[in-house]
């Protein structure tokens, strides 16, 4: 019922030459799992439609449709050049670019208006986990940043513990399972059982070929949001293959 999703977040990496990495995904993208690459803005147009089965997304968008917002890109612009997804609320945007829940909620509305699917990221710091505040923090982020109107089609939630991003440390299967069960329960409570059960939940944070299968075996994990390991197609393909295997 929920199609698994392997999403690569290239962050601020990649030039035109890196599009060869997208080309290399062609075979892996023919499996059961959906494959998505989110490159930097300048690469979205040349990447979109390039490889059958590889969807392309942005990494943020501005809430307004157009206007005097120097340096920003609107959701409609992303859709116009072929993006079908946008990542919103990534912890790097929240921390480094001062994006708060209300900004993210506005961006999410704009993305939906433009017909984009949203990968909404939530995650706790290590200090918040140590203080046993993880579920409170995540529940607050969900309530604050997801607008009304979510469906299993327009929303994907990505759990990315901040302490696991780019650190080589991964949350344990028990930690991931607890959080993903919680996220699904919260979605069901707010949006109803149908939406709650059909919304895909991704784990992100140092997902690698060596730990992917173990993570994909956790219940309520419908895929991964992959940073560093999505930059090299050889690694990303192994992760996609693990997800294809978990889809059977």
Catalytic residue numbers?
90, 160
Q: Which is nearer to ligand 13P, 74 or 206 (CB)?
A: 206
CB 140 within 8 A of CB 182: no
Pair 62, 93: CB distance under 8 Å = no
| C-beta atoms surrounding 245 within 10 Å | 14
**Contact at 8 Å (CB) between 61 and 107?**
yes
Give contact residues for ligand 13P (rule: CB under 6 A).
Answer: 9, 90, 160, 165-166, 204-207, 225-229
Least spacing, CB of residue 205 vs ligand 13P, in Å: 5
* Of 195 and 201, CB closest to ligand 13P: 201
SS3 content of the chain, % helix, strand, coil (to 5): 45, 15, 40
Q: How far is CA 78 from CA 48, 61, 85, 128, in A?
A: 10, 8, 9, 34
For ligand 13P, the closer of residues 195 and 226 by Cβ is 226
Q: Which is nearer to ligand 13P, 4 or 195 (CB)?
A: 4
Among 120, 121, 99, 101, which Cα is nearest to 111's? 120
DSSP code, position 209: T
Q: How far is the CB of 248 from ligand 13P (least distance, A)?
A: 25
Long-range CB pairs of 94-102 (<8 Å, 24+ gap) are: 95/162, 97/60, 99/60, 100/144, 101/140, 101/141, 101/144, 101/145, 102/144, 102/145
Query: Considering the complex, what minimum distance in angstroms separates the CB of residue 65 from ligand 13P?
Result: 26
Shortest Cβ distance from residue 84 to ligand 13P (Å)?
17
Least distance from ligand 13P to the Cβ atom of residue 10, Å:
9
Q: Is the dihedral of CA 201, 132, 107, 166 positive or negative?
A: negative
Cβ contacts of 219 within 8 Å, gap of 6 or more: 177, 180, 181
Nearer to ligand 13P by Cβ, of 59 and 244: the residue is 59
């Amino acid at each position: 019922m929920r199609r698994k999703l392997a999403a690569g977040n290239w962050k601020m990496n990649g030039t035109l030459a890196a599009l060869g990495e997208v080309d290399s995904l062609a075979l892996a993208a023919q499996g059961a799992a959906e494959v998505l690459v989110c490159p930097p803005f300048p690469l979205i147009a040349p990447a979109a439609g390039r490889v059958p089965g590889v969807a392309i997304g942005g990494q943020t968008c501005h809430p307004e449709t157009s206007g005097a917002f120097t340096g920003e890109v609107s959701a409609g612009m992303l859709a116009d050049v072929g993006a079908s997804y946008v990542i919103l609320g990534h912890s790097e945007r929240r921390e480094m670019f001062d994006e708060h829940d209300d900004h993210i909620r506005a961006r999410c509305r704009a993305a939906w208006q433009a017909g984009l699917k949203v990968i909404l990221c939530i995650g706790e710091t290590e200090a918040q986990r140590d203080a046993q505040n993880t579920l409170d923090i995540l529940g607050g982020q969900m309530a604050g940043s997801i607008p009304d109107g979510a469906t299993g089609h327009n929303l994907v939630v990505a759990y990315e513990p901040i302490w696991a991003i780019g650190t080589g440390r991964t949350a344990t299967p028990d930690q991931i399972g607890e959080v993903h069960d919680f996220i699904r329960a919260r979605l069901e409570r707010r949006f109803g059982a149908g939406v709650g059960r059909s919304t895909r939940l991704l784990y992100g944070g140092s997902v690698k070929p060596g730990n992917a299968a173990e993570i994909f075996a956790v219940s309520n994990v419908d895929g991964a949001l992959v940073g560093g390991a999505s930059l090299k197609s050889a690694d990303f393909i192994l992760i996609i293959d693990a997800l294809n295997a978990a889809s059977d």
